[in-house]
Chains A and B, each alone.
Chain A
Amino acid sequence: MDITQKLKLYTKPAQPSRETKEFDAASIGFHSVSGDSGNIVRKESFYSFDDIKIDEVSFKRSMKSYLSMNGFDDSIELHEILFLDLETTSLSIAAGSIPFLTGFAYFDSDMLIVEQIFIEDISREKNYLDYLLPFFANAKAVATFNGASYDVPLIKNRYMLNRVYGFPMKIPVIDILIPVRRIFKKLYESLSLGSLEKNILGFEREDDIPGFLIPDVYFSFQRSGETDRIAAVAEHNAVDIVSMIRVFSIVSSIYESASNRDFSMIDTDHMKNLASSLFAKDIDLFLDMADFLGDSILDDENLFQKFSIALKRENDYEKAVEYWKSNMTLFSLNELAKYEEHKTSNYVKALEYSETAMTLIEKNVYSENGGEIKNAARWKENFEKRIKRLKGKIGNHTS
């Protein structure tokens, strides 16, 4: 047998490929452009602020709040940000994953310009990387949706593989998924752009091509020249970019309201999530938000714990104790016992709290209102130790 015959035996043969058709950029709504960097296949779309339903003035302002609150240089202007979204042949960022359609966008004179580049011929990938290079070089930040770990490293790979130098390796990446996770965590079925469109932006796409089919569109094109679905991929990509920018404007305004203590502008659920994430970063803002949320934080065990610990750190024990007593969970009983043991040296009181906790543990409930105990063994060990120690201390005092 010859090699090809053998290979056919060993492996499962693929479907016979169809005749290859000539590529016509116009058929997918793109143009073939020749420039300094050689031929590229490109599409350009323009949107006004009205088109993308964003208030220009407030977005430019609130974006600055977002940048300064998240460790970015807040002198960066909106028009200096390059928005980026890649359509690729696989989900991996390894060497064999190709971004066959690159969408990028920037603001210029009151317009949003979305450019898309389609790699019709993979051997000319270098052309489009050359074309793209000045956009990266001139931008002060790249904004993406989940791009810090995907789009940006992937495009760096492509520059490396094609030996095109000059990509700004240290460019700041604004990953919009990060604030999205902080603010919308656990509120919706997922935090995908599709879900955010439905739940935050208030629309649903029609006839959108599902993401998992996208690589196949390109493979079919490469095998047989089929272009039927490429326009749909480009449309998907453009909507992704616009939605990403709209989501960015919304999270920016939430950050701005928080920073201005304009809490009534923020939805309570969003505020709870955001407050939680600010606990470690900006304790003053956190305490102000918790104050504003008032009793509603009692429903949120995580936030409640963080809040009482923040009070403790600020040495506001009076208020902390009040909070703990209003919600007698194992956590609160533990804090109260610590407080009585170490701050007031009221060992009897501390022992009382610890013993109340032990009865809860024996009943296998987290508080008198019920609830499941996580790490019951650890709680038990903790209170047993404390009770033993407290009994010792009480013994010493009485003797």
Chain B
Amino acid sequence: MNIEQLIDYLKLNSGFNENVVSWNTVPAKDAVYSDFPDYIDNRLVEYYVSKGIVKPYSHQRAAFDHARKKNDFVVVTPTASGKTLCYNVPVIDEIIKNPESRALYIFPTKALAQDQMYELNRIVESLELKIKTYTFDGDTPANARKSIRESGHVVITNPDMLHSGILPHHTIWVKLFENLKYVVIDEVHTYRGIFGSHFCNLLRRLERVCSFYGSNPKFILCSATIANPKDHAEALTGRKMFLINESGAPSGEKNFIIYNPPVVNENLGIRQSSVKLSAELASTFIRNKITTIVFAKSRIRAEIITNYIKEKTHARLAAYRGGYLPGERRDIEHKMRSGELDGIVSTNALELGIDIGSLDAVISVGYPGSVSSLLQQFGRAGRRNSSSISLLVANSSALDQYIAENPEFLTGFPPENAVINPDNLLILLDHIKCAAFELPFSETERFAPHISTTKEILDYLESEGILKNASGKYHWMNAIYPANEVSLRSASHDNVVIVDATSANKVIGEVDLSSAPTLIHDEAIYIHQGRQFYIDKLDWERRTAFCHETDSDYYTDAECKTDIHVLADDRTMKKNSFSINYGEINIREQAMLYKKIKFRTHENIGSGKITLPEIEMHTSSFWIDFDEEYLDSFGGKANSGALLYSVGYILKNIAPVHLFCDPSDIRSISMSKSSFSLKPALFIADSSPGGSGLSAKLYDIFPDIAVFASEHISRCSCKEGCPGCIGPSAGGIEGVKKIICALLKDLSNGHNPETETLH
């Protein structure tokens, strides 16, 4: 079957069709061309013509014109629409005309940076130009760095390297900063949430350094589809941006399908496993020579699906995820591009624009948490001249079921806003430190949006002995290297490396410190490229886990104990029997034990203790304190704990859709007795240290969310609760769905801003 035949086959297959909740067809689209303008160097135009690009697409031409007018702009067009041309042409043209000019490219990953360098080098070599393009990242050899600093026209780097390798050493990058004409930032949709907030501050630092050297580079940004590209680009750069969002690129017919696996146990509301079903569908596709990429939500799922497909098809298949070492990843990318692979099973590590060519089909196993992520995954399928399939297989989780119940939510594909909160105090504090290390602050300088906030933070840092105010300038006065203490991506900067002790301590992968206690504790089973490794020892101090390869019939799943202390209750709305609050909290978390779970049957076949240090963080949180009698009145004293957990479960799963965030950006913790109010309490907290602004927003829109949650529970087809609505634990309480709906309704009425007290 070719792809068109496969689409017909699926349309006519009733077994498949009865579980399709939505099938949207986007018709094929013709190209809209424009002309190369005369102001572009002829050689460059001839190069593209020789490569078959006789005329640029309309959006590419728009980009050239904006660059010509020295405008900052953002390009938002679909995957494979030729975005790189939008910046490579103005940049190379500028350097041809003025060989002193420099450009800085920032890509979120090293892999993308490599791709870009090859692309630019191809052009430069073919034109025999003396333009030097280098990647500058952690892999750059020390002896090459000097010549990159001095002679690199285009330096391609990533945010982490800009943060800790370039900006703090700006004095040896004089050539670059004095002559910087363009800053190109691709994949800007990835700079959202905490990472985006850090990134915004990083750009503030970049601008400070540029202005010290007297340069004022223009910014060219590119993004995958998000709802607010212009606003987001402006929030990141603090500049007015022009928007280019009309793509002139052609595309084949696209089929977007949402598939909800059939219910196999009505009592428990359990559906057929999305993992298994996706693996089966992928096997069918791949057997018919339909190149397919499967996106799984976790490393473990990706590995399981890979093994399944390999068993069924003998396909040439690779698993792809973040924990792999650069060489392994490069190899997979290359094989996919050159047609040596029939399919890839990936985590979201491949969502970013890594060039693996176009595929016929995408299967997303479970909703990846945001519309823009889903669109990124779906964008992997689609060739210019043939049709493609993008398939979302919903799982049993509440969020997926919420989407399966409301497919209209996705059919128009209104992607999320990318939200950043660059003025998160902790993030701001970190970057003001880094910025002060790079160049002294003057008392009247603005870094945070307000001079007064900036000054307040600077004064605080002086009182802490980190800065010294001398004659109106704050100078760095500390032995630490602040960039090393700030991670752009998460709370913890550290990674733990995993080494195979039986194979000359070969490094097989790494995980971040905060996931280490649950993923690679002693005796855990760690899965890598479909191979299983038994963790012999996690050496916490040395950030190293030692393992050996094994062949077990189970995997491990860890459980944590969590403690919360309220540090400040900033806002409170009091009702007779409960109160709704927002404030600062301290979370302490300790991995306690792990369970051994058998593959396929998922039965629990044993457990063990985990003894690792506690992980502590401060953040912001929304919470509800309940009077004990009030809570007990809903389902009886014995069931109050389970009810609370279920309310947290549904809120945590529904809220991200309305807060425009990733489910992992917030977390729910229920406590039978809060150490603050001494009452039962439910916390919905920001996952990142210092807070991300999400729980504050939840406090404001809580009544709506409580109503949505209760409607979703009533609509859910299960009888007494399922993972798709109130979660697994409250089963067994009679009429539990009605009880929880009643509780939610009561809570939504108790939200009355007039009763609010601010502290």
**Contacts from A to B (Cβ < 8 Å):** 1, 3-4, 6-7, 9-11, 13-14, 17, 89-96, 98, 121-124, 153, 156-157, 160-161, 215-216, 218-219, 222-223
Contact = CB atoms under 8 A, between A and B. Distances in A.
A96 B470 contact: no
B169 interface: yes
A122 B469 CA distance: 9
A7 B439 contact: no
B468 A95 contact: no
Given A95-B169, A96-B168, A121-B470, A7 B429 contact: yes
A380 B622 CA distance: 69
Interface residues of B, number: 42
Contacts of B171: 95, 156-157, 160-161
Contact of A222 (B174, B459, B471, B477): B477
Given A1-B584, A215-B479, A10 B470 contact: no
A123 B460 contact: no
Interface string B580-593: 00001000000000
30 contacts: A1-B570, A3-B457, A3-B460, A9-B568, A10-B429, A10-B618, A11-B464, A14-B465, A89-B476, A89-B478, A91-B479, A95-B438, A96-B168, A96-B476, A96-B478, A98-B477, A122-B440, A123-B472, A123-B475, A124-B471, A153-B172, A157-B171, A157-B172, A161-B439, A219-B477, A219-B478, A222-B465, A222-B468, A223-B468, A223-B477
A7 B690 CA distance: 10
Contacts of A14: 463-465
* Most B C-beta atoms less than 10 A away, residue of A11, A95, A123, A222: A95
Contacts of B618: 9-10
A218 B475 CA distance: 13
- The A contact surface, by secondary structure, is helix
Interface in B386-444: 425-426, 429, 436-440
Contacts of B172: 153, 157
B438 to A, nearest CB: 5
A17 B465 contact: yes
B473 interface: yes
A122 B474 CA distance: 9
B168 A4 contact: no
Contact of A90 (B436, B457, B479, B689): B479
B169 to A, nearest CB: 5
Nearest to B476: A96
* 4 closest Cβ pairs, A-B complex: A96-B437, A123-B471, A123-B470, A96-B476
B476 A98 contact: yes
Contact of B168 (A3, A89, A94, A121): A94
Contact of B482 (A96, A124, A156, A218): A96
A13 B584 contact: no
A215 B481 CA distance: 13
A222 B459 CA distance: 15
B605 interface: no
A161 B480 CA distance: 19
A156 B171 CA distance: 8
Contacts of A153: 172
Given A1-B584, A7-B429, A123-B473, A90 B456 contact: no
B174 A160 contact: yes
Contacts of A122: 440, 468, 470, 475, 477
Interface string B54-70: 00000000000000000
Contacts of B584: 1, 6, 9
Interface of B: 168-172, 174, 425-426, 429, 436-440, 453, 456-457, 459-460, 463-465, 468, 470-473, 475-482, 567-568, 570, 584, 618, 689-690
Contacts of B570: 1
B168 A7 contact: no
A95 B568 contact: no
Given A94-B168, A98-B475, A122-B468, A7 B457 contact: yes
B460 A4 contact: yes
A19 to B, nearest CB: 14
A222 B469 CA distance: 9
B460 A96 contact: no
A219 B479 contact: yes
A7 B433 CA distance: 13
Nearest to B689: A10
Contacts of A9: 567-568, 584, 618
Contact of B425 (A7, A92, A219): A7
Given A3-B457, A9-B568, A157-B171, 20 more contacts: A4-B456, A7-B460, A10-B426, A89-B477, A89-B479, A91-B479, A94-B169, A95-B170, A95-B439, A96-B437, A96-B438, A96-B478, A122-B470, A122-B477, A124-B470, A157-B172, A216-B479, A219-B478, A222-B465, A222-B477
A357 B475 CA distance: 65
Given A9-B568, A95-B439, A123-B470, A90 B463 contact: no
A94 B475 contact: no
A160 B436 CA distance: 16
A123 B442 CA distance: 11
A92 B169 CA distance: 10
